Structure 1
């Protein structure tokens, strides 16, 4: 999934800098930062976000290495893990209860596995850092997930445009053809209020899951990320519970390629 700019023009207000982009590698994926900022302002924000992802990489690990992997292999017990890892496990157990076990912080054979929370943790902290820097318009993407606030091309709200300028847009790729989008999703629109989109995919022909791909649109990224994993594991009943209990929007792709969307899913889609 990638943030997609709308085709027309630049900033609505000439006093607002043009949309700028930066990217770096962390947690085994590409992290992207976009914001309508002057280059030095954006670079300063990116430095902060990089520190957060480096912290996540050091504290939790990546690519089969580090404390998370040691827990999964059973090399260390949770009670001997460092405080931040135990706190992440506590967060995971709350989600296990909230999803009736569809999301679990354990492997199928029992050991603790927190790898499904690390990326969301980092993105969420990066978003909070952007807020703390008092930046109203920004987007953070990592490994197919996106969290954003405001607009890529900000403008004061009017009667015809109540959302401070055009929305950020995120494209969801077709699991059968990564070069094709199955949806083009509008995100955020109001400074200080975030929108998040997370997608979990098993890959064509893989696994016994009810769905091939699950995308969840929520206000914050950990909710979107966890629920996409839970729906992938729990199927239709978990999807219905997620929409009912958390107010999220969901788009799923079946193994036959059929797309099914919750009634809360945005109407603006492109096949």
Structure 2
């Protein structure tokens, strides 16, 4: 997907680095991580708009009829359509020219699936980071919560906030890395009402879609997201004003 990805697995039963490594090997954590990465790799092969051989690219070239869409593509499109309706058209998986663009759904969707693989293999304490879309489970140690940093739109090398979270998904949308790539589906123009949006949800797919939808909606989208599955929303306006709704657990 052209983004950095990492999985941090902790083993609370092991004391000391050597013991932790042995416990991880015994429990198959490396294999679990490999299986989770394989889910992300498969999603990239299916949904990448940069690969000519991906299903998405072939659909957009008219080589695959809707009747032959894979189950995964149908699921992602259905998620996109549900949130298009909920957002009044601000969120969409269609470009202005009608081509499919699933980027607003598929990263969080794939990362959530990868996290499901970890859990199915017995991993309870982990942090999966897919280019800033984060799923955390359990604790990094001693019952503590995981800290998730939010980059400053003014200086992405700095953090403007740090959240303290566990057993949830956190997704951030902004224009400070890829430029004005998030469009307001109602106008087809770049969304400019917010500089950064972070959404917390029990489900990363929901958090990821809502982060993009709120960015497209602008400030009005911050409270709106709470009725769509968000547990907390934190946003910055272009002028640097902070907006928040719901439960936003800042690290102390």
TM-score by length of 1: 0.76
Distance in 1 (CA, whole Å) between partners of 2:111 and 2:73 is 17
Preserved contact between residue 173 and residue 180 of structure 1 (Cα < 8 Å): yes
- Paired with 2:230 and 2:172, the residues of 1 have a C-alpha distance of 17
Q: Which of 164, 182, 197 does residue 160 from structure 2 map onto?
A: 182
CA–CA separation in structure 1 for the residues paired with 2:220 and 2:236: 16
- The answer (yes or no) to whether the contact 2:93–2:102 under 8 Å persists in 1 is yes
Cα deviation 1:46-102 (Å, max 9, x = unaligned) = 111122112112222353542223445666553443332123212221222233322
Q: What is the aligned counterpart of 1:108 among 90, 96, 99?
A: 96
Aligned counterparts, 1:194-233, within 5 A: 194-203=167-176, 206=180, 207-233=190-216
RMSD: 2.2
Higher deviation after alignment, 217-226 or 106-115: 106-115
**Structure 1 residue corresponding to 2:72, chosen from 68, 84, 92:** 84
Q: Equivalent residues in 2 for 1:1-271 (5 A)? A: 27-37=1-11, 38=21, 39-40=24-25, 41-61=28-48, 63=50, 65=52, 66-72=54-60, 76-153=64-141, 155=142, 165-188=143-166, 194-203=167-176, 206=180, 207-268=190-251
The 8 Å contact of residues 226 and 246 in structure 2, kept in 1 or not, is answered as: no
Note closer, same or farther for the CA distance 1:129–1:254 as it changes in structure 2 (3 Å cut). Answer: same
Cα drift, residue 257 of structure 1? 2.1
Contact 1:123 1:221 in 2 (8 A): yes
Moved more, 53-62 or 207-216: 53-62
CA distance in 1, matches of 2:44, 2:230: 31
Contact map agreement 2:222 2:243 (CA 8 A) in 1: no
Shift of 1:247: 4.3
Contact 2:196 2:236 in 1 (8 A): yes
TM-score, structure 2 length as denominator? 0.81
Which one has a larger percent helix, Structure 1 or Structure 2? 2
- Alpha-carbon deviation of 1:253? 1.3
Contact 1:71 1:113 in 2 (8 A): no
Q: Deviations over 1:169-224 (max 9, x none)?
A: 11001011011101111111xxxxx2111001112884442101111111110111
